[in-house]
Structure 1
Amino acid sequence: MNRRDFIAACAGLSLTVKAGDGFAQSGPLTRIIFPFAAGGSGDSLCRILAQQITEPLDRNFIVEDRTGGDGLIAITAVKNSRPDGTTILVTTGPTMYLLPMVEAQPSFDTARDFVPVSLLARFEFCVVVGPAVDARDFKEFVGWLKAHPDKATFGVPSNGTIPHFTGSRLEQVLGIPLTRVAYRGTTPIINDMMGGHLPFAVTTVADVVAQHQAGGLRVLAVASVKRSPFLPDVPTLQENGIDLVADGWYGMWLPAGSPPEFAGKLSAAVAAAIAKPEIREKLWTIGLIPVGSTQQGLVQELAANTALWQPIVKATGYKINN
């Protein structure tokens, strides 16, 4: 099964699985809230895990894609939910450390308002072009941008994200004004690029690898330290003379005040699920690098990324006036 067929199958999964006595002693229906549009790798990750942790945690899970507000709608919903184990947040790591940096008045503090569960999987970012761009490699792409400054528009899954600041860095290094358009997730970006309405995007390798392999889109460079295992023939930005490295990951959190015992059980169940060879294979199929860390592993990853990106974000002066 290829990646496109696999994601389509995931999107159609029924997640109402019989569960016995759960955390609230009545087999509670538990929501996994995800901030971006259905159809992408993150949504598929949520659905895969929902099926896998139903039995060990003895409860029902549903995945709820709650888009908008650059991720804040979903994050705020989980933050304000009852800490009874029935609401879980899965989102990209960058939303949890970048949004507090860019909001004029931060809506949340990740350490204060959430309980870490697990770093689920890693993913890579890339520069990808659609059929509107006549370029076979990154060098030709730069030439195209210089020749068509009125068309130098790129899409990002949302504002205040790694793709956003990667695009800002590209603009600075290349010396070419770029117009950024923020979407609600990657799926509408792909649709607009495939339709010739959007020239290029900075987004995740996971969400465009199938289209690249099919020839509909072209990934010209990846933003990782080394070439992606999913696209070994595509050079890095550094290989193209751009001193920029950016990567991402998905994490899982509970609202603050959630019982430590349940958080520990959830973390263990997730790690056990991701350790299964068949699940690791599924994650590789959708362009994700499996991790399944401990709670402390998630805390450490968040701290390291915060230290890395804080000076970069500060230098842009970007703020959300909330």
Structure 2
Amino acid sequence: MFFKHFAASLAVTAGIGLASTSAYAAYPSQPVNVIVPQSPGGTNDIVARLISDKLAQKLGQPFVVQNKPGAGGNIGTAQAAREAADGYTVLFTISSAQAINPAIYKNPGFDPVKDFAPVAAVGSVPNVLCVHPSFPAKTLSEFITEVKAHPGKYQYASAGNGTLNHLLGAMLDEKGGLKLEHIPYRGVAPGMTDVLGGQVPIIFASLPSSIATIKAGKLRALGVSTKERNPALPDVPAIGEQIPGYNGELWIAMYVPKNTPKDIIDTLYKATESVLADPDVKKKYADLGVEPLNDNPEQLAKRLDDDLKLWGAIVKSTGAQVN
């Protein structure tokens, strides 16, 4: 009798153990929190919600987007770094926060390499060199000629010191031999308002946020910041076509806290790869002017390393820093 009860207890215990192991292996078994360290309505937020909705359909659990803006993305990123490495927190971020902030902030609150494991890069977004319609240049070559002929005469607006649209202008000066005056604003919206009003003639604006204004004729697009032209603006050249070495894309990527198990990262990457092949996602990307990327974890790690070096050098040359 004793042995019968003992054997039964072993069977029950083994069953519980197998069930626990099975439940752990069946990732995800509960909702996944997606931290977006920027405000609602921006490019990263739009893409994060699109991909998160599709991941929920693929993996059978909600992917719940939480916007945690502040300090150029540092607040939400630092919070994500402190979360448990169990796959139930995903950071959906952009290159300006992950690759530029560590150079411009003395203490951003996180280390982009030591605190995170890369999952996938999902898209890239060009910034567009835009001018007010009254600007004398109608093409990129005319713009370069005009600005070189009048060093220091023209200003460009940015969302603030050390932001991507500031550093894209600084790179234009450095690689193109230009001399533009930088006018920092407290966010992209007031800067764009002054450019549309003609108070400042030049701005770098992300394609998704500016394409409607460009097509309405309220801004003139002269060049895109990526290596190649964007299909949404096929007649607008890449700046690098006329200024060798110029390339500054905004990429969007998924990370998880460091030490998240590899099988969870693999599950997230494979699901994301499938989502990016979805015709609905492809169409929405095209409408937004987002170029699809499909970096695996190793490729994303290389992309981040390259950009940390690129933007670190630009920040050093401009002296841009935020306390």
TM-score bucket (shorter structure): 0.7 to 0.9
Asked if 2 retains the 8 angstrom alpha-carbon contact of 1:37 and 1:187, the reply is no
Shift of residue 190 of structure 1?
4.2
Asked if 2 retains the 8 angstrom alpha-carbon contact of 1:145 and 1:151, the reply is no
Q: State whether structure 2 residue 229 is matched by structure 1 residue 227.
A: yes
Asked if 1 retains the 8 angstrom alpha-carbon contact of 2:89 and 2:256, the reply is yes
Q: Which residues of structure 1 form unaligned runs of 5+?
A: 1-20
Q: Indicate how the Cα distance of structure 1 residues 52 and 99 shifts in structure 2: closer, same or farther if over 3 A, else same.
A: same
Give, in whole Å, the separation in 1 of the partners of 2:51 and 2:28: 21
Q: Secondary structure in 1 aligned to 2:294?
A: coil
Tell me the residue number matched to 1:283: 285
Q: Secondary structure in 2 aligned to 1:257?
A: coil
Tell me the residue number matched to 2:42: 40
Q: State whether structure 2 residue 59 is matched by structure 1 residue 57.
A: yes
| Residue type at the aligned position of 1:152 | Q
| Residue type at the aligned position of 1:137 | T
Give, in whole Å, the separation in 2 of the partners of 1:116 and 1:41: 20
Give me the TM-score of the superposition, normalised by structure 1. 0.79
Matches within 5 A, 1:266-277: 266-277=268-279
Q: State whether structure 2 residue 182 is matched by structure 1 residue 179.
A: yes
Tell me the residue number matched to 1:152: 155
| Residue type at the aligned position of 2:155 | A
Give, in whole Å, the separation in 2 of the partners of 1:190 and 1:170: 19
Give, in whole Å, the separation in 2 of the partners of 1:257 and 1:277: 33
Q: Which residues of structure 2 form unaligned runs of 5+?
A: 1-23
Asked if 2 retains the 8 angstrom alpha-carbon contact of 1:102 and 1:160, the reply is yes
Q: Indicate how the Cα distance of structure 1 residues 178 and 50 shifts in structure 2: closer, same or farther if over 3 A, else same.
A: same
Tell me the residue number matched to 2:112: 110
Asked if 2 retains the 8 angstrom alpha-carbon contact of 1:35 and 1:65, the reply is yes
Q: Secondary structure in 2 aligned to 1:258?
A: coil
Shift of residue 294 of structure 1?
1.7
Matches within 5 A, 1:95-134: 95-105=97-107, 107-130=109-132, 133=135
Asked if 2 retains the 8 angstrom alpha-carbon contact of 1:132 and 1:198, the reply is no
Give, in whole Å, the separation in 1 of the partners of 2:296 and 2:269: 6
Give, in whole Å, the separation in 2 of the partners of 1:161 and 1:63: 24
Give, in whole Å, the separation in 2 of the partners of 1:291 and 1:71: 22
| Residue type at the aligned position of 1:164 | H
Larger Cα-atom Rg:
2
Q: Could you give the per-residue CA deviations for residues 76-112 of structure 1, whole angstroms, max 9, x where no partner exists?
A: 1211223333322111124212222233345322221
Deviates more, 1:171-180 or 1:145-154: 145-154
Q: State whether structure 2 residue 63 is matched by structure 1 residue 70.
A: no
Number of equivalent positions: 297
| Residue type at the aligned position of 1:211 | T
Tell me the residue number matched to 1:12: none
Tell me the residue number matched to 1:264: 266
How much is the aligned-residue C-alpha RMSD, in angstroms?
3.1
Give, in whole Å, the separation in 1 of the partners of 2:281 and 2:69: 26
**Between the two proteins, what is the percent identity of the paired residues?**
26
Tell me the residue number matched to 1:251: 253
| Residue type at the aligned position of 1:124 | P
Q: Indicate how the Cα distance of structure 1 residues 259 and 189 shifts in structure 2: closer, same or farther if over 3 A, else same.
A: farther
Tell me the residue number matched to 1:31: 33
| Residue type at the aligned position of 2:301 | V
Give me the TM-score of the superposition, normalised by structure 2. 0.78
Give, in whole Å, the separation in 1 of the partners of 2:62 and 2:114: 28
Q: Indicate how the Cα distance of structure 1 residues 317 and 90 shifts in structure 2: closer, same or farther if over 3 A, else same.
A: same
Q: Secondary structure in 2 aligned to 1:112?
A: coil
Shift of residue 244 of structure 1?
2.4
Q: Could you give the per-residue CA deviations for residues 166-221 of structure 1, whole angstroms, max 9, x where no partner exists?
A: 2123345455341232444x556545544556533113223312221222222112
Shift of residue 49 of structure 1?
0.7
Tell me the residue number matched to 2:9: none
Shift of residue 252 of structure 1?
0.6
Q: Could you give the per-residue CA deviations for residues 127-181 of structure 1, whole angstroms, max 9, x where no partner exists?
A: 112457465334565648987968724124x543442222123345455341232
Tell me the residue number matched to 1:317: 319
Shift of residue 120 of structure 1?
0.6
Matches within 5 A, 1:154-173: 154-156=157-159, 159-172=161-174, 173=176
Tell me the residue number matched to 1:6: none
| Residue type at the aligned position of 2:179 | I
Deviates more, 1:250-259 or 1:57-66: 57-66
